[in-house]
Amino acid sequence: MSEVDSFFAQQSFWSKASYQFWKAIATGFIRLMTRMTVDGKENLPRTGSYVLAPVHRSNVDTPIAAGVTRRRMRFMGKDSMWKNKPFGWLLSSVGGFPVTRGTTDIEALKRCIHVLNNGEPLVMFPEGERKSGPIVQPLFEGAAYVACRGRVPIIPVGIGGSERVMPKGARVIYPRKVRVIVGKPIYPQIDGNGRAPRSEVKRLTAELHEQLQILFDEAQTRVGLK
Protein backbone atom coordinates (compact mmCIF):
# COMPACT_ATOMS: atom_id res chain seq x y z
CA MET A 1 0.00 0.00 0.00
CA SER A 2 1.39 3.41 -0.97
CA GLU A 3 1.78 6.25 1.55
CA VAL A 4 -1.20 8.02 -0.02
CA ASP A 5 -3.40 4.91 0.16
CA SER A 6 -2.28 4.34 3.73
CA PHE A 7 -3.19 7.90 4.75
CA PHE A 8 -6.74 7.63 3.46
CA ALA A 9 -7.22 4.11 4.77
CA GLN A 10 -6.39 5.41 8.24
CA GLN A 11 -8.89 8.26 7.91
CA SER A 12 -11.79 6.52 6.15
CA PHE A 13 -13.49 5.13 9.25
CA TRP A 14 -13.40 8.41 11.15
CA SER A 15 -14.41 10.38 8.08
CA LYS A 16 -17.53 8.33 7.53
CA ALA A 17 -18.38 8.25 11.24
CA SER A 18 -17.90 11.92 12.09
CA TYR A 19 -18.15 14.08 8.97
CA GLN A 20 -21.91 14.64 9.00
CA PHE A 21 -21.89 15.23 12.77
CA TRP A 22 -19.23 17.95 12.70
CA LYS A 23 -20.60 19.41 9.49
CA ALA A 24 -24.07 19.79 11.01
CA ILE A 25 -22.62 21.67 13.98
CA ALA A 26 -20.32 23.96 11.97
CA THR A 27 -22.61 24.75 9.06
CA GLY A 28 -25.66 25.04 11.31
CA PHE A 29 -23.91 27.66 13.42
CA ILE A 30 -22.72 29.57 10.34
CA ARG A 31 -26.19 29.52 8.80
CA LEU A 32 -27.65 30.86 12.03
CA MET A 33 -25.08 33.66 12.27
CA THR A 34 -25.10 34.68 8.61
CA ARG A 35 -28.57 33.79 7.27
CA MET A 36 -26.62 32.11 4.49
CA THR A 37 -28.37 31.30 1.23
CA VAL A 38 -27.00 29.26 -1.65
CA ASP A 39 -27.96 29.76 -5.29
CA GLY A 40 -26.97 27.45 -8.12
CA LYS A 41 -27.04 24.12 -6.29
CA GLU A 42 -28.35 22.56 -9.49
CA ASN A 43 -24.86 23.07 -10.93
CA LEU A 44 -23.35 20.55 -8.50
CA PRO A 45 -23.06 16.98 -9.82
CA ARG A 46 -25.07 14.55 -7.69
CA THR A 47 -22.60 11.76 -8.25
CA GLY A 48 -18.96 11.47 -9.20
CA SER A 49 -16.04 13.69 -8.33
CA TYR A 50 -15.38 17.34 -9.01
CA VAL A 51 -13.26 20.21 -7.73
CA LEU A 52 -15.19 22.89 -5.83
CA ALA A 53 -13.24 26.15 -6.19
CA PRO A 54 -14.50 29.02 -4.00
CA VAL A 55 -13.06 32.48 -3.49
CA HIS A 56 -11.35 32.78 -0.12
CA ARG A 57 -11.83 35.77 2.20
CA SER A 58 -12.39 34.22 5.63
CA ASN A 59 -11.87 31.17 7.82
CA VAL A 60 -15.63 30.59 7.68
CA ASP A 61 -15.33 29.86 3.95
CA THR A 62 -14.51 26.24 4.81
CA PRO A 63 -17.79 25.42 6.60
CA ILE A 64 -19.60 27.55 4.02
CA ALA A 65 -18.16 25.39 1.23
CA ALA A 66 -19.17 22.24 3.11
CA GLY A 67 -22.70 23.58 3.38
CA VAL A 68 -23.41 23.86 -0.34
CA THR A 69 -24.11 20.12 -0.67
CA ARG A 70 -25.14 17.13 1.43
CA ARG A 71 -22.30 15.11 -0.01
CA ARG A 72 -19.10 14.66 1.94
CA MET A 73 -16.39 17.07 0.84
CA ARG A 74 -12.63 16.63 1.15
CA PHE A 75 -10.50 19.61 2.13
CA MET A 76 -6.87 20.61 1.95
CA GLY A 77 -5.44 22.67 4.81
CA LYS A 78 -2.17 24.44 5.59
CA ASP A 79 0.16 22.03 7.34
CA SER A 80 0.58 24.34 10.35
CA MET A 81 -3.01 23.52 11.34
CA TRP A 82 -1.87 19.99 12.16
CA LYS A 83 0.73 21.23 14.68
CA ASN A 84 -2.00 21.36 17.32
CA LYS A 85 -2.51 17.63 17.78
CA PRO A 86 -6.15 17.65 19.02
CA PHE A 87 -7.17 20.05 16.24
CA GLY A 88 -5.15 18.11 13.68
CA TRP A 89 -6.89 14.90 14.77
CA LEU A 90 -10.25 16.61 14.28
CA LEU A 91 -9.28 17.83 10.80
CA SER A 92 -8.09 14.38 9.78
CA SER A 93 -11.17 12.72 11.25
CA VAL A 94 -13.37 14.54 8.73
CA GLY A 95 -11.13 13.81 5.77
CA GLY A 96 -8.89 16.87 5.80
CA PHE A 97 -5.28 16.57 4.72
CA PRO A 98 -2.28 18.94 4.96
CA VAL A 99 -0.51 20.89 2.25
CA THR A 100 2.77 22.77 2.53
CA ARG A 101 2.34 26.35 1.33
CA GLY A 102 4.80 27.99 -0.99
CA THR A 103 6.05 24.69 -2.42
CA THR A 104 5.00 22.18 -5.04
CA ASP A 105 3.66 19.69 -2.53
CA ILE A 106 3.69 16.53 -4.62
CA GLU A 107 2.26 14.45 -1.78
CA ALA A 108 -0.72 16.81 -1.42
CA LEU A 109 -1.39 16.70 -5.17
CA LYS A 110 -1.29 12.90 -5.08
CA ARG A 111 -3.83 12.95 -2.28
CA CYS A 112 -6.06 15.30 -4.28
CA ILE A 113 -5.98 13.01 -7.30
CA HIS A 114 -6.62 10.00 -5.03
CA VAL A 115 -9.78 11.72 -3.69
CA LEU A 116 -11.04 12.42 -7.22
CA ASN A 117 -10.26 8.89 -8.40
CA ASN A 118 -12.41 7.63 -5.51
CA GLY A 119 -15.37 9.60 -6.83
CA GLU A 120 -15.44 12.21 -4.05
CA PRO A 121 -15.77 16.01 -4.36
CA LEU A 122 -12.70 18.02 -3.38
CA VAL A 123 -12.57 21.64 -2.16
CA MET A 124 -9.58 23.70 -3.29
CA PHE A 125 -9.28 27.45 -2.74
CA PRO A 126 -7.45 28.47 -5.92
CA GLU A 127 -6.33 31.84 -4.51
CA GLY A 128 -4.37 29.91 -1.88
CA GLU A 129 -4.40 31.62 1.49
CA ARG A 130 -7.12 34.08 2.49
CA LYS A 131 -7.14 37.30 0.52
CA SER A 132 -8.89 40.62 1.09
CA GLY A 133 -10.97 42.93 -1.07
CA PRO A 134 -13.27 42.64 -4.07
CA ILE A 135 -10.72 41.49 -6.65
CA VAL A 136 -10.04 37.81 -7.23
CA GLN A 137 -6.29 37.48 -6.96
CA PRO A 138 -4.09 35.51 -9.39
CA LEU A 139 -4.85 31.82 -9.02
CA PHE A 140 -2.54 28.95 -8.32
CA GLU A 141 -2.73 26.27 -11.00
CA GLY A 142 -3.23 23.34 -8.62
CA ALA A 143 -7.02 23.19 -8.99
CA ALA A 144 -6.82 23.14 -12.78
CA TYR A 145 -3.99 20.61 -12.71
CA VAL A 146 -5.81 18.06 -10.54
CA ALA A 147 -9.03 18.59 -12.52
CA CYS A 148 -7.14 17.77 -15.70
CA ARG A 149 -5.42 14.77 -14.15
CA GLY A 150 -8.68 13.49 -12.71
CA ARG A 151 -10.68 14.44 -15.83
CA VAL A 152 -13.32 16.12 -13.66
CA PRO A 153 -15.05 19.52 -13.79
CA ILE A 154 -14.21 22.54 -11.68
CA ILE A 155 -17.17 24.26 -10.01
CA PRO A 156 -16.48 27.98 -9.32
CA VAL A 157 -18.12 29.47 -6.22
CA GLY A 158 -18.59 33.12 -5.28
CA ILE A 159 -18.99 33.84 -1.55
CA GLY A 160 -20.25 37.31 -0.69
CA GLY A 161 -19.95 38.78 2.79
CA SER A 162 -17.73 36.23 4.54
CA GLU A 163 -14.93 38.73 5.03
CA ARG A 164 -17.26 40.83 7.18
CA VAL A 165 -18.28 37.75 9.17
CA MET A 166 -14.72 36.90 10.19
CA PRO A 167 -12.01 39.18 8.80
CA LYS A 168 -8.41 38.04 8.70
CA GLY A 169 -7.02 38.23 12.22
CA ALA A 170 -10.46 38.26 13.90
CA ARG A 171 -11.11 35.90 16.81
CA VAL A 172 -14.89 36.18 16.79
CA ILE A 173 -17.65 35.65 14.23
CA TYR A 174 -19.90 38.62 13.49
CA PRO A 175 -23.55 38.21 12.44
CA ARG A 176 -23.49 39.43 8.84
CA LYS A 177 -25.30 38.21 5.72
CA VAL A 178 -23.59 35.72 3.43
CA ARG A 179 -24.67 34.83 -0.09
CA VAL A 180 -23.18 31.92 -2.00
CA ILE A 181 -23.47 31.47 -5.76
CA VAL A 182 -22.43 28.18 -7.33
CA GLY A 183 -21.39 28.55 -10.95
CA LYS A 184 -21.69 26.16 -13.85
CA PRO A 185 -19.11 23.38 -14.21
CA ILE A 186 -15.97 24.14 -16.21
CA TYR A 187 -14.72 21.04 -17.98
CA PRO A 188 -11.07 20.45 -18.90
CA GLN A 189 -10.48 19.86 -22.58
CA ILE A 190 -8.08 16.93 -22.60
CA ASP A 191 -7.66 13.61 -24.31
CA GLY A 192 -8.28 10.25 -22.67
CA ASN A 193 -4.76 9.49 -21.45
CA GLY A 194 -5.13 11.44 -18.20
CA ARG A 195 -2.23 13.79 -18.91
CA ALA A 196 -2.45 17.46 -17.96
CA PRO A 197 -0.94 19.57 -20.76
CA ARG A 198 0.54 22.83 -19.51
CA SER A 199 -1.45 24.82 -22.07
CA GLU A 200 -4.76 23.36 -20.87
CA VAL A 201 -3.92 23.94 -17.22
CA LYS A 202 -3.25 27.59 -18.01
CA ARG A 203 -6.43 27.93 -20.09
CA LEU A 204 -8.56 26.31 -17.40
CA THR A 205 -7.02 28.53 -14.72
CA ALA A 206 -7.76 31.65 -16.76
CA GLU A 207 -11.38 30.62 -17.34
CA LEU A 208 -11.80 29.79 -13.66
CA HIS A 209 -10.45 33.22 -12.68
CA GLU A 210 -12.89 34.95 -15.01
CA GLN A 211 -15.89 33.02 -13.72
CA LEU A 212 -14.90 33.48 -10.08
CA GLN A 213 -14.78 37.24 -10.50
CA ILE A 214 -18.24 37.28 -12.07
CA LEU A 215 -19.71 35.13 -9.30
CA PHE A 216 -17.90 37.03 -6.54
CA ASP A 217 -19.17 40.36 -7.90
CA GLU A 218 -22.74 39.06 -7.96
CA ALA A 219 -22.50 37.56 -4.45
CA GLN A 220 -21.05 40.80 -3.08
CA THR A 221 -23.82 42.77 -4.73
CA ARG A 222 -26.47 40.61 -3.06
CA VAL A 223 -25.12 41.45 0.39
CA GLY A 224 -24.88 45.17 -0.42
CA LEU A 225 -21.10 45.41 -0.85
CA LYS A 226 -21.12 46.59 -4.49
Domains contained in the chain, number: 1
pLDDT of residue 86: 81
153 within domain boundaries: yes
Residue 4, domain member (yes or no): no
pLDDT at 191 over 80: no
Phi, psi of 188 (to 5 degrees): -70, 145
- Cα–Cα distance between 168 and 181 in angstroms, integer? 22
Q: Which residues contact 34 (CB under 8 A, 6 or more apart)?
A: 60, 161, 162, 165, 175, 176, 177, 178
Instruction: State the Cα–Cα distance between residues 1 and 100, nearest whole angstrom.
Output: 23
For residue 14, being part of any structural domain is answered with: no
CATH number at residue 56: 3.40.1130.10
Radius of gyration of the chain (CA): 17
For helices 3-34 and 85-93, the axis angle rounded to 10 degrees is 90
- pLDDT of 67 above 50: yes
**For residues 53 and 23, is the Cβ–Cβ distance under 8 A?**
no
CB count in 10 Å sphere of residue 168: 12
Top-confidence residue, 8 or 175: 175
Q: What percent of the chain has pLDDT over 70?
A: 88
- Give domain status of residue 30, yes or no: no
**What pLDDT is recorded for position 8?**
56
Residue 53 lies in a domain: yes
- Please check the confidence at residue 1 and state whether its pLDDT lies above 50: no
Q: What is the pLDDT of residues 112-152, one digit of tens each?
A: 898 899 899 999 999 988 999 999 999 999 999 999 999 99
Residue 82 lies in a domain: no
Rounded to the nearest 10°, the torsion over CA 68, 72, 77, 83 is: 130
On whether residue 10 sits in a domain, the answer given is no
pLDDT one-digit tens code per residue, 35-63 = 999 999 999 999 999 999 999 999 999 99
**With 50 as the cut, is the pLDDT of residue 18 above it?**
yes
| Among candidate residues 58, 87, 93, 89, the one with its CA nearest the CA of residue 178 | 58
Domain span at residue 208? Answer: 35-74+102-222
Q: Is residue 85 part of a domain?
A: no
